[in-house]
Structures are given as structure tokens and as C-alpha cells.
Amino acid sequence: MDTGDTAWVLTSAALVLLMTPGLALFYGGLVRSKSVLNMMMMSFSSLALITVLWVLYGYSLAFGDDLGGGLLGNPTDFWGLQGLMDAESLVFTVPSLAFVGFQAVFAIITVALISGAIADRARFGPWLLFSGIWATVVYFPVAHWVFAFDAATGVDFVGGWIANDLAALDFAGGTAVHINAGAAGLALALVLGKRKGFAKDPMRPHNLPLVMLGAGLLWFGWFGFNAGSALGANGLAAAAWVNTLAATAAAALGWLLTERIRDGHATSLGAASGVVAGLVAITPACAAVNPMGALAIGLVAGILCALAVGLKYRFGYDDSLDVVGVHLVGGLWGTLSIGLFAVLNAPGAFDNEGLIAGGGFSLLGKQAVGAFAVLAFSFVMTLIIGFAIQKTIGFRLDEESEVEGIDGVEHAESAYDFTGGGGGSLSGHGHLPTATTATTTLASKGRTS
Amino acid sequence: MKLVTAVIKPHKWEDVREALETFGVTGMTVSEVSGYGRQKGHTEVYRGAEYDVALVPKIRIEIVVEDVDVDDVVAIMVKTAQTGRIGDGKVWVSPVDTVVRVRTGDRDGAAI
């Protein structure tokens, strides 16, 4: 056990945890004021529900010994995280429970990311049901495919097929997190259908400073996501850290440049979106490329995603907050970009070389297989889960409630008190249990006392 | 007595208030409102999607004045709120029956 490595992994896990509240702010600011609380609740509920599932059986499904074909871990190996508190229980150089915590927060945010595709219109209970089923049959298996290395979490344990058999590179989750969530978002947007007034009525972001704050928190937490995936306090982590910084900066510039040329203005939402696009793209690649490669990956990601967010209007799917345009497209680009930009001397390239460095097409091919396998699996499974929920208990909010605002209907709350009047003296029509009722009424209606 | 209501551009509000105060108007009610006239709205772009925003923000000022002051107050408002460009707003005058000062119970002229 290495104390330095352990300190870094525990710190990184806390950083990644903060990304989900950050995402709640990012998504929350993007929706209209009548649905910001529901939007944020879809992230916060993921923090609650997915953590519980992770402890019960999620970790074991992802990191238990392989049941066959590199497809799924054994749910009984670590049921309830049993056996992992022993001092000898290590994953590489850190206590197993440090690794459990670090991987838990990945599962949480992947589920939360999907919610951006279905803003304003998903009933909360069905969303929770969807979250639990999706994590169980999609995320936990895919985490096994991508993150479970042979013999990492148990002696003689066999890991997942993408990490070991295919040996595609995904350092921090371009496939398992971003392609996975992006494909699920697309499927769920198709299941739930368009919001009333989509592409006709203005659905402006109600609070861009919240979006900027959320983007800042995401960026901050993402250093734990990427550099923490080194699972050690070492040069691998440092390389991932600097590449994460470089790509993100280039992507923000790329997005702003695209907007300036296409729309005439560089927008704050463009800057925030570019940041996220760059973070997504560099996630799988952050240890396998050099900083110049990271700049190129980021710049392309910023431009590509700025263009991709327009696809939903062309094809008519209401991916409300651009989970597809940013996470699916950015995740695909980042995963494939390793096949172009990987260099032998990068600490996380593991003797692979990309096309541009002269390594030929073999790595690019492996990256494509991993990326499209996760895309197809997630998309199909999500369609099935989503339709099953819609046809049984119903997933979509009714139209009247959607127009009225999901916050009031699903949560009996409103985000903001706009009544003014000196801070709320006019607010609300409710009363405390002890309040007395009026003793007089309008003369035109007859006095009662 | 008359109620003078003005809907003006937000950036002109401070000028109008100063001019009215100099003239001797002692109080007014001000609200942030939105609406549109011939100016229509404006266009905003979010992630490449253009939105025509129909409503533009305005300031509404309401003042109750004695009949003799109405023309001066209206003239001051129009003069100070004017930029000459579309969207400057409107000023209108309506009759008022009764005014009561809540603190003292004073009525009409004494309450203004």
C-alpha cells in the first residue's frame, strides 16, 4: 500500500463527486426557470440511488471476477462490499475501498449525464426507476468491459473484454462514461419525444451564470476524473492533468471561434460548452498523447461539438441540453483520436502508437470497435428500458403539467421567489396551520360578521 | 388629478427620474416590465439556435399629479426619455377619482 497514491485517489474521488453537483448547476442553468429544480434533482437523485446500488452489488458487477466473455463481473464476489476492508485488500497500490469510492462517483455522474437529454418532461419516479435499471444492466457491465483489468481487483480475476481482450485504450472513460451516456441520452430523447414547442418556442437558458459556475466545477472535478485514473500520485497522473488542461482550453477557443464565424458572436454559453466538450474528448486520451496532441484533440472537439449541437434541429430529436452533441460526439472523437495521436513515449500509451505517429491503423481500429460496441449496446438497451417504462407506468409528464412546469408538479416547489414586495411579503397564498381566516368579505358578496 | 403612466427604455430611467425630481415631483411608482410595440423583439443565439425574443425589457413609471402639472410632467418625460430611435416607449394620461394618503387619511390634492 502506498500512502501517496492512496491520498491522491481519495482526493480524486472527492473531486469527481463534486462534478455531479457541478453538472446539476450546469444543466440547471440551461433549462427554463420552471424546471430547474427537477433538472438538478435528476443529478442529486443519482448521487443517492447509484451510491446505494454500488455498495449493494454495482461494484461487484463491474469488478467481480468475470462470469464469461469479459461481459460481466460476479455479483456475489463483493456483494455489500464484503471482504474489502481487510488491510491486505489492495487494487494496485491503494486500498480496495479507495478504488471502490473512486469508481462509485464515475457511475453516479454517468447516470446523471443522461438526464440532460430529457429536460422538462420526465416524471421523477420513473426517472429513478430508469436510473436504477440502466445502471444495473448498462453501466455496471460496461464499466466491467472498460475498467476491469485482469487481476486488478482480485487474484486471478479475469476482467472486461475491451480492457483486456481488445486492449483498446480508454484511460478515464470516453467509452464507459461519455459514449455510454450520450447514446443513452439519444435513445431516451427518442422514447420521451419532443417537448411541447420544441424548435418553435424560445427555450432559453434561464441562468447562464449558473451554467458558467457548473462548467467551472466540472473542470475542477475533472482533474480528479482524469489524473485520478492514474490510480497513483505519479508521472502518469501529471501527464493526464496537463493534457486535461491543454485540451480543454483549446476546445473553448475552438467553440468560440466557430460561433463567432457562424453566428457573429462569441457567447458565454459557447465558452462553457467548449470547456465541457474539451474535457469529454480528452478523457479517454489524456494519458496516451503528448500536450501538442491534446491541443489538437481539444481544438477539433470544440469545433466538432459546436457544429454537432445543431443536428437535433435537423433530425428533429429533442436532446434538450445536447448530451448527444457534446458527450456522444465528443466521446467518439476523443476515443478515436487516440488512434491518431497516441505516441509511444506517453506514459499511458502502453506501447501503442497512433496513425499520425506512424503506428498505422491497428490502434484506430481497436478504438473504433470499443467505441461503437458501447454505443450500440447502450443505445439498444436504453431504448428497451425506456419503452418498457413508458408503456407500463408511464415515463413522460402529461402536457398540462409540462406547460405549467415540472418543478411544481413533481416536487411541489419553485426555484425562485419573484414576488418582490420587500422580499416576499406578497408571496404565496398558503397559510401556517395557526393562521386565522378573514372575518369580513367583499360587500358585494355579503358580510359574514 | 391625473395618472401619468410612462413606459420607457431602461437606460433612460435615471434621466427621467432626475428631471422629474428637479421639476418638483416628490414620488412615483416604478416597475420593471416587458412588452413590445413596433420595435418588436430581438434575436439571441444559444448553441447556434436563434431565438426571436418577442418581449423587450422596459421601465414603467406611474405618477399621480394635479391637473395643472400634467402637461409639464408629460413634456419632461417625453423630452428626457427620447432617443429618436424605435422603441422609445409611450406616455399616457388617465383621470383619477380619489387619492388617499394611507398614513394620515389626507385626500386628493393634499395626498399628492
Question: Which CATH number characterizes residue B72's domain?
Answer: 3.30.70.120
pTM of the model: 0.87
- Poorest-confidence range of A289-303, A375-389, B36-50, B93-107? B36-50
The pLDDT of A341-353, averaged and rounded, is 95
- Position A186 confidence tier, pLDDT thresholds 50, 70, 90: very high
Q: For an interface test with A, which of B33, B45, B47 has the most A Cβ atoms less than 10 Å from its Cβ?
A: B47
H/E segment holding residue A221: helix A208-227
Q: Is the pLDDT of residue A326 over 80?
A: yes
| Interface residue A309 vs chain B (CB under 8 A) | yes
- Find, in chain B, the residue whose alpha carbon is nearest to that of A200: B51
Domain ranges of chain A: 3-403
- Position A419 confidence tier, pLDDT thresholds 50, 70, 90: low
Are the beta carbons of A202 and B51 separated by less than 8 Å?
yes
> Would you give per-residue pLDDT tens digits along chain B (112 residues)?
999 999 999 999 999 999 999 999 989 999 999 988 876 778 888 998 888 888 888 999 999 999 999 999 999 999 999 999 888 999 999 999 999 999 999 998 888 8
Residue B44 has a pLDDT of 86
The number of folded domains in chain B is 1
Q: Which domain holds residue B15?
A: 2-111
Beta carbons of A275 and A46 less than 8 angstroms apart: no
Q: Which of B46, B48, B52 sits opposite A205 (nearest CB)?
A: B46
Are the beta carbons of A262 and B44 separated by less than 8 Å?
no
> Using CA atoms, how far apart are residues A329 and A307, in angstroms rounded to an integer?
10
* Alpha-carbon distance B30 to nearest alpha carbon in chain A (angstroms): 12
* Alpha-carbon distance B62 to nearest alpha carbon in chain A (angstroms): 17
Instruction: Write the pLDDT tens digit of every residue in A156-177.
Output: 999 999 999 999 999 999 999 9
Partners of residue A195 in chain B, C-beta under 8 Å: none
Interface of A with B in 241-260 (CB under 8 A): 259
- Position A349 confidence tier, pLDDT thresholds 50, 70, 90: very high
Residue A445 has a pLDDT of 58
Partners of residue B45 in chain A, C-beta under 8 Å: 259, 263-265, 267
Q: Which of A264, A273, A313 sits opposite B49 (nearest CB)?
A: A313
Averaged pLDDT score across all residues of chain A = 94
Instruction: Write the pLDDT tens digit of every residue in A26-61.
Output: 999 999 999 999 999 999 999 999 999 999 999 999
Are the beta carbons of A273 and B47 separated by less than 8 Å?
yes
Residue A174 has a pLDDT of 97
- Find, in chain A, the residue whose alpha carbon is nearest to that of B49: A310
The pLDDT of A106-116, averaged and rounded, is 98
Say if strands B89-95 and B56-65 run parallel, antiparallel, or are unpaired. Answer: unpaired
- Position A444 confidence tier, pLDDT thresholds 50, 70, 90: low
> Using CA atoms, how far apart are residues A387 and A134, in angstroms rounded to an integer?
13
| Interface residue A391 vs chain B (CB under 8 A) | no
ipTM over 0.85: no
Residue A437 CB neighbours (<10 A): 5
Beta carbons of A417 and A33 less than 8 angstroms apart: no
> Using CA atoms, how far apart are residues A184 and A191, in angstroms rounded to an integer?
10
The pLDDT of A312-329, averaged and rounded, is 97
- Find, in chain B, the residue whose alpha carbon is nearest to that of A255: B47
Beta carbons of A439 and A449 less than 8 angstroms apart: yes
What is the total residue count of chain A?
449
CATH homologous superfamily, domain A3-403: Ammonium transporter AmtB like domains (1.10.3430.10)
> Using CA atoms, how far apart are residues A178 and A188, in angstroms rounded to an integer?
15
Are the beta carbons of A313 and B51 separated by less than 8 Å?
no
**What is the residue type of A179?**
I
Q: What is the DSSP string of A115-167?
A: GGGGTTTB-HHHHHHHHHHHIIIIIHHHHHHHH--TTTSSTT----IIIIII-
Q: For an interface test with B, which of A208, A262, A267 has the most B Cβ atoms less than 10 Å from its Cβ?
A: A267
* Alpha-carbon distance B101 to nearest alpha carbon in chain A (angstroms): 19
Beta carbons of B79 and B22 less than 8 angstroms apart: no
- Position A427 confidence tier, pLDDT thresholds 50, 70, 90: very low
Instruction: Write the pLDDT tens digit of every residue in A202-215.
Output: 789 999 999 999 99
Partners of residue B44 in chain A, C-beta under 8 Å: 202, 204
Compute CA distances A366 → A66, A117, A159, A372, whole Å. 21, 29, 17, 10
